[in-house]
C-alpha cells in the first residue's frame, strides 16, 4: 500500500520539504547535497480541420536529489513525494554515490559564490485561461491559414499550449531559491497542395510568449503559416554547385545553437568540441558578436539563478569574431581551470550541465531583402533537417529546403538538397549579418549570409 501525501501549495512548503530531505541525506552520510523541486500545470489543445483533435491537461511534480559523499556523487529523482518514497530515495542515492569512483573536482559551488539576490525577471503571468478560450485560439489560427489561400487544402493542425510552473533549488550551504514562470504558445501547421501535380508541402509558424497579453493575434500566425506552406509549392532540386547561402532567422538560429554546443564546458573538457583550445582566438568573422544574457527581463531563457544556485549574468561569448568565454558551470569550469559563468542548467533528474539562457547574435545593418538582393546566384535556406553535424570536427552536412536566388530575387523553391561545409570555416565565412533579430526562443539570430557552401542536388 502506498502512502499518500498532499502536495505543498507554496514555495515555502517545498523549501521545508527540501530542508527535510537535505537533513535526511546528511544522516545517511552525505557531506554535501542539493535538491531541485519542480512542479507545474500544462494544458494543450490541438485542433485539426476545424475540430478538436486532442486535448491534454495535467499537473505534475518532480524532485531531484544530488548527494556528495566526499568526492563521490550520485543523482536521483522521483515523482512520489510520500515520506516513505523520499526516505528510500535518500538511501538509494547515498548507496549509489558510494559505488562510483572519486572525482577530485566534484562538489557544490563554494559557499561564498551562491546567488545572494533573486531579482524578479518578470517570467510569470498568472492569467488562467478556460478550456474554450484556448480551443478558440487554436481554431482561429487554423481557420486563418485555410482562409489565406485556396491551395491550403489540409492541415497537420493548430496547437495552443499554456503552462506554468515553479522551480525550487536548495542546497546544504543553506541556499534556497525559487521562481515561477509561464508560457503561452500557438503554432499552426497547414498543408498546401499544388493542383496540377497533387504534390503537398507542409510548413508551420508559431509564437511563444511568457505573458498571454503579448500574443499576437491567432489570425496573424495562421496567415504566416499559410504563406510559408504555399511558397514551397513546386519545389525542385538544383544542380550540385558552390554558391553563397543565406540562412533565415530560424535556420541561422540553428547555426547559433551549434556554436552554443561547441562552447559548452562539457564538450570542451571531454575534447569533443571543434572549438577546443580557441579561447582568445578568432573563431568567426569580425561581424560576429554573441551574448548569453540570463537576466533579460521576460526572456525565454532568463532565470534569477542557475542550476547550481549561482547568479546568472550577461556573458560575452564572441566579440567581433574572437571567442571570449565558454559556457561553464562549477564542474566543467574546474576541469578547464576557469570559474563558472553561471550557466549551469539542471533538469530535475540529472546532475547539472551547461545550457544557454538568452543566447543571441547581435544584429547588423542589412535587411533580409537587401541581403538576398545582393546575390546573383545562391541559396536562401528556410529549413534544415537531419543530424549531419560532427561537433568534434565541425563537419557539417544537412538536408535543406528553401529558395534559389537568381539576380537578387527568390526565383523558385528548392528541396531534396544538402548544404555542406565545416562549421570552423562557415563561421569565418559569414560576410553579412541581418538587422532582423527577434527573440522567439532561448537562442535567436538575425538572418546571416555565408559567402560560399557546397550545395548538393542533381
Q: Interaction with another protein in 230-269: which residues (CB under 8 A)?
A: 232, 235, 237, 240
- Asked if 308 interacts with another protein (CB under 8 A), we say no
| CB closer to another protein out of 349 and 408 | 349
Helix (H) or strand (E) holding 438: none
- Here's the x/- map for another protein, 148-177, by CB under 8 A: it reads as ------xxx---------------------
Write out the DSSP string of 295-353. T-TT-TT--SB-TTSBBP-EEEEEETTEE---B--HHHHHHHT----S-EE--TTS--E
Among 126, 197, 407, 458, binds another protein (CB under 8 A): 458
Among 10, 12, 56, 195, binds another protein (CB under 8 A): 56
At closest approach, how far in Å is the CB of 108 from another protein?
16
- Asked if 187 interacts with another protein (CB under 8 A), we say no
**Rg of the chain, C-alpha, whole Å:** 24
- Asked if 196 interacts with another protein (CB under 8 A), we say no
**Eight-state DSSP code of residue 114:** B
Among 286, 320, 386, 409, binds another protein (CB under 8 A): 386
Contact (Cβ atoms closer than 8 angstroms) between residue 182 and residue 124: yes
Whole-number Cα distances in Å, 378 to 391, 418, 456 = 26, 13, 13
- Here's the x/- map for another protein, 63-82, by CB under 8 A: it reads as ----------xxxxxxxx--
Please identify which residue in the block is written with the cell numbers 532582423. 436
- Here's the x/- map for another protein, 32-51, by CB under 8 A: it reads as ----------------x--x
| CB closer to another protein out of 112 and 280 | 280
| Residue positions counted in the chain | 458
Q: Compute how many residues bind another protein; rule: CB under 8 A.
A: 82
- Asked if 401 interacts with another protein (CB under 8 A), we say yes
At closest approach, how far in Å is the CB of 362 from another protein?
29
Among 420, 431, 441, 451, binds another protein (CB under 8 A): 420
Whole-number Cα distances in Å, 43 to 67, 415, 452 = 34, 35, 45
Q: Nearest Cα to 386, choosing from 395, 396, 399? A: 399
Helix (H) or strand (E) holding 201: strand 200-202
Helix (H) or strand (E) holding 391: none
Cα atoms in the Cβ-side hemisphere of radius 13 Å centred on 7: 14
At closest approach, how far in Å is the CB of 329 from another protein?
14
- Asked if 374 interacts with another protein (CB under 8 A), we say no
Q: Interaction with another protein in 319-348: which residues (CB under 8 A)?
A: none
Q: Interaction with another protein in 83-122: which residues (CB under 8 A)?
A: 85, 89, 92-93, 95-97, 99-103, 106
Inter-axis angle of helices 131-148 and 218-230, nearest 10? 40
- Stretch of 17-25, 392-400, 404-412, 439-447 lying at the interface with another protein (CB under 8 A): 392-400
Amino acid at each position: 500500500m502506498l502512502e499518500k501525501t498532499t502536495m505543498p501549495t507554496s514555495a515555502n512548503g517545498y523549501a521545508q520539504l527540501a530542508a527535510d530531505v537535505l537533513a535526511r541525506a546528511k544522516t545517511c552520510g552525505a557531506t554535501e547535497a542539493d535538491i531541485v523541486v519542480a512542479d507545474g500545470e500544462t494544458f494543450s489543445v490541438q485542433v485539426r480541420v476545424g475540430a478538436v483533435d486532442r486535448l491534454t491537461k495535467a499537473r505534475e511534480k518532480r524532485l531531484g536529489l544530488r548527494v556528495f559523499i566526499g568526492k563521490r556523487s550520485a543523482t536521483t529523482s522521483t515523482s512520489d513525494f510520500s515520506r516513505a518514497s523520499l526516505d528510500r530515495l535518500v538511501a538509494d542515492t547515498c548507496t549509489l554515490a558510494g559505488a562510483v569512483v572519486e572525482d577530485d573536482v566534484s562538489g557544490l559551488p563554494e559557499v561564498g559564490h551562491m546567488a545572494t539576490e533573486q531579482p524578479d525577471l518578470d517570467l510569470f503571468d498568472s492569467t488562467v485561461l478556460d478550456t474554450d478560450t484556448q480551443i478558440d485560439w487554436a481554431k482561429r489560427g487554423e481557420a486563418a491559414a485555410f482562409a489565406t489561400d485556396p491551395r491550403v487544402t489540409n492541415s497537420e493542425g493548430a496547437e495552443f499550449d499554456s503552462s506554468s510552473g515553479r522551480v525550487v533549488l536548495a542546497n546544504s550551504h543553506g541556499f534556497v531559491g525559487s521562481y515561477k514562470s509561464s508560457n503561452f504558445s500557438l503554432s499552426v501547421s497547414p498543408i498546401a497542395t499544388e493542383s496540377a501535380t497533387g504534390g503537398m508541402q507542409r510548413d508551420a509558424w508559431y509564437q511563444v510568449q511568457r505573458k498571454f497579453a503579448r500574443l499576437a493575434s491567432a489570425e496573424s500566425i495562421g496567415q504566416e503559416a499559410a504563406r510559408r506552406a504555399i511558397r514551397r509549392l513546386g519545389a525542385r532540386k538544383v544542380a550540385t554547385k558552390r554558391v553563397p547561402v543565406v540562412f533565415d532567422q530560424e535556420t541561422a538560429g540553428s547555426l547559433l545553437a551549434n556554436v552554443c554546443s561547441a562552447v559548452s564546458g562539457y564538450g570542451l573538457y571531454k575534447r569533443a568540441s571543434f572549438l577546443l583550445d580557441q579561447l582568445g582566438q578568432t573563431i568567426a568573422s569580425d561581424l560576429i558578436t554573441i551574448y548569453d544574457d540570463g537576466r533579460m527581463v521576460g526572456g525565454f531563457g532568463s532565470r534569477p539563478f542557475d542550476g547550481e544556485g549561482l547568479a546568472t549574468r550577461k556573458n560575452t561569448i564572441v566579440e567581433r569574431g574572437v571567442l571570449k568565454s565558454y559556457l561553464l558551470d562549477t564542474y566543467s569550469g574546474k576541469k578547464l581551470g576557469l570559474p563558472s559563468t553561471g550557466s549551469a542548467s539542471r533538469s530535475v533528474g540529472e546532475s547539472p550541465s551547461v545550457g544557454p539562457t538568452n543566447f543571441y547574435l547581435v544584429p547588423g545593418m542589412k535587411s533580409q531583402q537587401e541581403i538576398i538582393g545582393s546575390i546573383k546566384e545562391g541559396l536562401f535556406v528556410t529549413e534544415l533537417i537531419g543530424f549531419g553535424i560532427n561537433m568534434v570536427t565541425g563537419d557539417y552536412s544537412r538536408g535543406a529546403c528553401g529558395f534559389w536566388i537568381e539576380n537578387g530575387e527568390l526565383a523558385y523553391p528548392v528541396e531534396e538538397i544538402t548544404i555542406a561545409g565545416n562549421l570552423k570555416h562557415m563561421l569565418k565565412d559569414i560576410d553579412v549579418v541581418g538587422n532582423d533579430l527577434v527573440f522567439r526562443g532561448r537562442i535567436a539570430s538575425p538572418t546571416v549570409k555565408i559567402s560560399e557552401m557546397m550545395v548538393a542536388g542533381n
